[in-house]
Structure 1
Amino acid sequence: MSRENIVVVAVDGSEASKVAVRWAANTAMKREIPLRLASSYAMPQFLYAEGMVPPQEIYDDLQAETLEKIEEARGIALEVAPELKIGHTIAEGSPIDMLLDMSKTATMIVMGSRGLGGLSGMVMGSVSAAVVSHADCPVVVVREDNHVDESTKYGPIVVGIDGSAVSEKATEYAFAEAAARGAELHAVHTWMDMQVQASLAGLAAAQQQWKVVEEEQHVLLAERLAGFQEQYPNVVVKKIVTRDRPVRALCDAAEGAQLLVVGSHGRGGFKGMLLGSTSRALLQSAPCPMMVVRPTEEDIA
């Protein structure tokens, strides 16, 4: 199945969804690709009593209500990008099935989130977990409290780098976003060596050892970015190496950013981020929208 150059955004009528639509419209405009609004509806289960066929009027009402949400979202998107090409998809049934199916051909899926309250509306709870964890394209989570306005439209793209294959893939997406937006790229690499701290007796010796390790990490980071910098010579890159925990370092770097890009199964600080406290912390506390990049079957093979 061929991949279409398009941004898909989940629409459910919530405030979080509206923020996601604004971000998605701005992204599609800067990438110069179309936007597709996606929403679904489901027939209430109690109407499926034995031998009962729900009346057509209920289907019509559900479709009309869903279309109203789509049209509202279209108006929001056009406020952001008046010339943007916008299509829509309305599906009956599970939003998980709809979004995962669309992820097979889309450039990215964008979803709204209420932050600490969990993902909202049609993308709440298990839906969000399923889409973020199993989509065939990057998924961007935009929290309701992420500022998507003039102050953030010109911020940097931030990417977490740990040397893994999926981290390299995330870096590729980050460079592409930075190039499309004319934005700086801030590459963040963290390191924590508790064994070094425990084995050194004096603070001066520890500081010297940390300095050596930090210099080594700078060299490694430069090597990991070199190929992408050749491919995207117009992207200004800021390299950040810090002895810190990934969540804190990435949140600090992402303040005022347009997007934070993270691979989902890297080594070190980002490994298994979708399964543990790191993922929850980033999805709930990152000060900007966050893109999760997963390895595809081709990457694993």
Structure 2
Amino acid sequence: MSGLVVVGADGSVASLAAVEAAAREAQGRDAGLRVVHAFVRPALHVPLGPSPLGPPEGGLRNMADRIVTEAVERARAAAPGVDVDRAVIAGEPLTVLEAQSRAAELVVVGSRGMGGFVGLLVGSTAVHLAAHGRCPVLVVREQPRADGPIVLGVDGSAAGERAVEFAFAEAELREAPLLALHAWTTWNAPMAAPQDASEPYASPPGALSGAEERLLSEALAGHRERYPGVAVEHRVAHGGTREALIEASRSAQLVVVGARGRGGFSGLLLGSVSQALLHHAHCPIAVVRGAGANH
């Protein structure tokens, strides 16, 4: 066994769904699973253990142990045989899980936790980890579907190369087809040098579309050979990337995107496409940061 999958557990319905998904991920990767619960220390002089005036099973520490015990049981039921360990850590969940991501190959969290506000589509922990985690982050909805393709958002950027590799590996692990989707508009298509100086802003009919087809093919080059068992469908769509991927997520079991694309601003850790998917996709989302983004 090699590798480690980390999952955050807080007792919410969303986190228990994340625990089950994480257990299956660990099983498929032949990796260990670590169930992590983080809690903020109470105010000074308030004990972590039960109050002398309360029941012996009370207190923050006992509550945390119950949350983790339930999560571990759920993980073992979902993926028997997976090596599961547990960690109860005092600290902000964002900080704790980011630190855990340094030693993990994947961190899994629910879309919303116990602290989520009514009407909020995705919690701050999921967004923060997608931007700052040191490994890919899988954000799980309450009822992830087991069928459908893995949808990969391709933008042709160097930062997106890790997302392509992750999506192929995930498709192989799940024995699922891969839909590689690239959406473009005249606003985000790269500008080529004009062929005719008299028409510096014009492109021959079909030139932009052909260039975007080549971009998609080049982004996938080499991966199909390394993953011959993965059935791949290419799809180039003329339209908004966010809209295309959200629509494709309706029939997908997972959408994989890079943290930032070729339209991202320097210094921005999470792009508009990944942000939109975290909030509006109809299936779990894996956000994969690019090489050099872990510092």
Q: Which structure 2 residues correspond to residues 107-118 of structure 1 after superposition, within 5 A?
A: 107-114=105-112, 116-118=119-121
Contact 1:103/1:137 (8 A) holds in 2? yes
Give the structure-1-normalised TM-score: 0.80
Contact map agreement 1:162 1:269 (CA 8 A) in 2: no
**Which string of whole-angstrom CA distances, capped at 9 and with x for unpartnered residues, describes residues 254-287 of structure 1?**
22322111111211389958354x4442112111
Partner of 2:85: 87
1: CA distance, partners of 2:227 / 2:154: 17
SS in 1 for 2:181: strand
CA contact (8 A) 2:18 2:109 kept: yes
1:224 correspondence with 2:202: no
Paired residue for 1:259, among 254, 257, 281?
254
The CA RMSD measured in Å over matched residues stands at 2.8
Spell out the pairing of 1:17-96 with structure 2 (5 A cutoff). Answer: 17-45=15-43, 48=44, 53-55=45-47, 57-58=49-50, 61-96=59-94
Q: How does 1:183-198 map to 2 (within 5 A)?
A: 183-193=176-186
State how far apart, in whole Å, the 2-side matches of 1:27 and 1:107 are: 11
The answer for the alignment partner of 1:250 in structure 2 is 245
**Alpha-carbon deviation of 1:299?**
7.6
Q: Would the alpha carbon gap of residues 55 and 72 (structure 1) be closer, same or farther in structure 2, given more than 3 Å must change?
A: closer
Offset at residue 56 of structure 1 (A): 5.7
Q: SS of the counterpart of 1:117?
A: coil
Q: Which residue of 2 aligns with 1:202?
A: none
CA contact (8 A) 1:28 1:35 kept: yes
Match of 2:151 in 1: 158
Q: 1:41 touches 1:63 (CA, 8 Å); kept in 2?
A: no
* 1:137-195: CA deviation from partner (whole Å, max 9, x where unpaired): 01111123xx32xxx32321111111111211110111111111111111111110159
User: Partner amino acid for 1:239?
Assistant: H
Counting helix residues as a fraction of each chain, which structure ranks higher? 1
Match of 2:160 in 1: 167
Q: Distance in 2 between matches of 1:264 and 1:270?
A: 12
The aligned residue for residue 141 of structure 1 is 139
Matched AA of 1:24: A
Match of 1:179?
172
Alpha-carbon distance between aligned partners in 2 of 1:161 and 1:241, rounded to the nearest angstrom: 10
CA distance in 1 between counterparts of 2:21 and 2:217 reads 31
Task: Answer with 263-272 or 110-119: which moved more.
Answer: 263-272
Shift of 1:118: 4.3
CA distance in 2, matches of 1:31, 1:195: 36
Instruction: Give the conservation status (yes or no) of the 8 Å contact 2:14–2:141.
Output: yes
Shift of 1:83: 2.2
Q: 218-227 vs 161-170, which deviates more?
A: 218-227
**Preserved CA contact (<8 Å) 1:262 1:291:** yes
Amino acid at match of 1:157: I
C-alpha contact 2:36 2:87 (8 A) present in aligned 1:
yes
Deviation by residue 1:46-92 (Cα, 9 ceiling, x = unmatched):
xx1xxxx4446359822211111111112222232122221111101
Match of residue 201 from structure 1: none
* Gap runs ≥5 in structure 2: 52-57, 190-201
* Alignment match, 1:199: none
SS in 1 for 2:182: strand
Where does structure 1 lack aligned partners over 5 or more consecutive residues? 197-205
For the 8 Å contact 1:162–1:268, the answer to whether it is kept is no
Identity %: 38
- Aligned mates of 2:98, 2:60 — CA distance in 1: 22
- Partner in structure 1 of residue 270 of structure 2: 274
Task: Tell me which residue corresponds to 1:8.
Answer: 6
Runs of 4+ in structure 1 deviating by more than 4 angstroms, as ranges, are: 269-273
CA contact (8 A) 1:170 1:263 kept: yes
Match of 1:292 among 268, 281, 287: 287
Number of residue pairs aligned between Structure 1 and Structure 2: 270
